[in-house]
Structure 1
Amino acid sequence: MPRRCRLSRRDVHPGSPADDLRSRSRGANVSNNTIITEVDEVGIATITLNRPEQRNAINFEMDRAFHDAMWSFDADDDVRAIVVTGAGKAFCSGFDISAGGEAFGRATHEAHDQQLGVDSDSVAERAAFWNMRTPVIAAINGAAVGAGLTLPLLFDIRIAAEDAKLAFIFPRRGILPEANSTWLLPRLVGLSRALELLLTGKTISGTEAARIGLVSRAVPRDQVLDEALELARDIAVNCAPTPVAITKKLVHEGLGETDRLAAMQRETRLTWWIGEQADAVEGVVAFFERRQPKWSGSKHVGIPEDLR
């Protein structure tokens, strides 16, 4: 059975072992329940955004708890994949704008940076989930609007409900798209489609999002989480942790690489290096013996300097 814990910002610390994290959270006097986490027997961590009455709008408490949980799970070698979903009918309605017209004003900005211990530079590093060694999958079970849509753009794979309402709503609220969306969205869906979505803030369905490549697939709402967990399980059970981590690294680095030859050279060096690792032997032997492989590698294995 999965282990469930409700985490407040006091209960999770970046880089701490997840086993210690879970044991502390089970016995902790939790002051908020903005996220729920679970880890199953094969190492799939699930993070559920848990403010359903507010359509999982992101407040400072959720922001801190979510990022802390993400980096803690990435630090845990036993966690092989992370799935993020929302409680209730929505995935995430974006930042909490209950403050009204001052929701994005100077006072909110200062409070955000002070409470989260960030500035405009370090906040980007904190959200750089592409630097994680763990695959991250979004199970977009309902509406994803504004920051609720740019957040899963920072993940590796997205699965959406067919009828989910998705929108980069920013210009309709008088603000700018954020969270690296202006950099990534054109690379996902092409320049013209990206500009149409970003300049109009219009709403599209999960089905349309799958058609244009914004998400990997769209499925009936009640199947979204199961589909994401099945995909995560496939990675966790059937794929060795080291090549999964390095493949993720190479793909994301490649988005910013302008020298195609250099990218292939790096890939080739790493291919031969990983072929010398124990899991490369195990994967081939398990295939010929028609059995499940027993992986022994780590997603955090160090890459030799001369191969980077």
Structure 2
Amino acid sequence: MAKWLQSTETLTFEVRDRIAWITFDRPEKRNALNWQGLRELRDALIEADDLTNVHCIVLGGSGRDFCSGWDLTSGESSPVKEAHSGNQQAEYRSQTATLEDDIWQLGRMNELRMVMFEMHKPVIAKVQGNCLANGTDIALLADLVIVASDARIGYPPVRAQGSPPSHMWLYHMGPQWAKRMLLTGDLLCGTDAARLGLALESVPADELDAHVEALARRIAAISPDLLACNKRVVNLGLELMGAKTLQRLASELDARGHLSAGRLKFRQSIEDLGLKEAVRRRDAAFGDGMVEYRWD
């Protein structure tokens, strides 16, 4: 039985059997992210970390997909848009468009995500369907990533728009496979993502929920204090390998990518053709976009 359940505009939060279940809940948008969703995710993660009856968190998506990326149709361009809406006389960097302003906004975005890395309790990302672009920025910060074998994982926006502003690819896959994915924007199926270390393991889609719940229950059987010791020592090791510094550098390099001719051309294509057709043309040369991976 659920101990309690609450919902926001973008997610649901349920506590059950010492596990917090945080679920993106915009299936009509394929769980595409926006600033409000990132803020609500940050708040939910902090709430779960604070609750004494929660030992472990499972992060998932409702419907077909974990998260299809950023919601380019939302019209929400600023992390502080609502806070500034009542002040018509002041000008804020979040409303302007210099390189430094872009770096500032991307830094604010990373701060919202990095709570998953910095919090004390372990987070499992349960990934089905599409986990694309900004969806990977979220999933790859989880402590454990479990994927459906037919999930599709990748960062297609590198073909025309920039670079991942959050970058855990190197730490999961090593340099060559990280480059292979980010130099093409191709996608991995869940099975290959697990083989290459981008995920811990893959299971058939119809077994994903039960498999993740069984793992979460094993983790939740341990004291949160001990879980925190073992999560944080590994993450401190990642910090010593530069992981947190790289997140900051990644957001700054993404801002540089936003000034590229390819990105400006893509933005114009969206205005001229609409988002769906612009994305179709961006990806046309890549076929189905799946990595043709061979083990033998």
TM-score when scaled to structure 2?
Answer: 0.70
> Which residue of 112, 115, 118 maps to 2:79?
112
The answer as to 2:185 corresponding to 1:201 is: yes
The answer as to 2:141 corresponding to 1:141 is: no
1:232 matched residue in structure 2: 216
The answer as to 2:39 corresponding to 1:39 is: no
Structure 2 residue identity aligned to 1:198: L
In structure 2, what is the Cα distance between the partners aligned to 1:4 and 1:140?
Answer: 24
Deviation at 1:190, TM superposition (A): 0.8
CA deviation string 1:82-129 (max 9, x = no partner)? 001111111100110125xxx7xxxx54x2243489954444333221
Structure 1 residue identity aligned to 2:11: I
Q: For structure 1, list consecutive stretches of 5 or more residues without a partner in the other structure.
A: 9-31, 259-308
Q: Is the 8 A contact 1:60 1:116 kept in 2?
A: no
> Which residue of 6, 24, 43 maps to 1:68?
43
TM-score when scaled to structure 1?
Answer: 0.67
Which residues of 2 match residues 165-184 of structure 1 at below 5 A? 165-179=152-166, 181=167, 184=168
SS in 2 for 1:82: strand
Structure 1 residue identity aligned to 2:2: P
Name the Cα RMSD after superposition: 2.1
In structure 1, what is the Cα distance between the partners aligned to 2:109 and 2:163?
Answer: 16
Deviation at 1:194, TM superposition (A): 0.4
Structure 1 residue identity aligned to 2:181: L
Change (3 A) 1:122 1:150: closer
How many aligned residue pairs are there? 222
Q: Is the 8 A contact 1:162 1:220 kept in 2?
A: yes
The percentage of aligned residue pairs carrying the same residue is 33
> Which residue of 154, 162, 185 maps to 2:169?
185
1:12 matched residue in structure 2: none
1:2 matched residue in structure 2: 2
1:215 matched residue in structure 2: 199
In structure 1, what is the Cα distance between the partners aligned to 2:154 and 2:82?
Answer: 28
Change (3 A) 1:116 1:124: farther
1:247 matched residue in structure 2: 230
SS in 2 for 1:144: strand
Structure 2 residue identity aligned to 1:217: E
Q: Is the 8 A contact 2:12 2:22 kept in 1?
A: yes
1:52 matched residue in structure 2: 27
SS in 2 for 1:170: helix
**Structure label with greater radius of gyration:** 1
Q: Is the 8 A contact 2:27 2:64 kept in 1?
A: yes
1:84 matched residue in structure 2: 59
Q: Is the 8 A contact 2:158 2:183 kept in 1?
A: yes
The answer as to 2:111 corresponding to 1:125 is: yes
Structure 2 residue identity aligned to 1:251: V
